[in-house]
Amino acid sequence: MTPSRSAHFSALVERQPDNELFRFSLAQALLNEARGAEAIEHLNVCAQKKSDWMMPRILLGKTLLQLGRRAEARPWLEEALRLAIDQRHEDPESELRALLAGS
């Protein structure tokens, strides 16, 4: 039996804990496995390491919203929106505006 994607990336993160790309891939795998609470730590590391990386912030905000942690989600979504505007990503900007309007 092949290991799950999260197990695969978890092993890579264990070997290289400072590799934010491995952590982001692990977070995505955990989210796909409906393990959002476990993904938060890894998304947070990614966001802290790269101040202009929009995707970890979007996923952090959305995951926190799903977990009912609206107050924690809002700053991440606001920061992601700022990056979406600065980087001219129109689709994420629209999605983030809608999420913020509902949170």
Q: If 0-12 CB within 10 Å is exposed, 13-18 middle and 19+ buried, where does residue 52 land? A: exposed
For 33, residues 6+ apart whose C-beta sits below 8 A from its C-beta are 4, 5, 6
The percentage of residues in the chain with a pLDDT greater than 70, rounded to a whole number, is 96
What domains are there in the chain, each with its CATH number?
Answer: 5-102 (1.25.40.10)
pLDDT tens figures, 47-66: 999 999 999 999 999 999 99
pTM given for the model: 0.92
Q: Which one, of 43, 48, 22, 81, lies nearest residue 35 by Cα?
A: 43
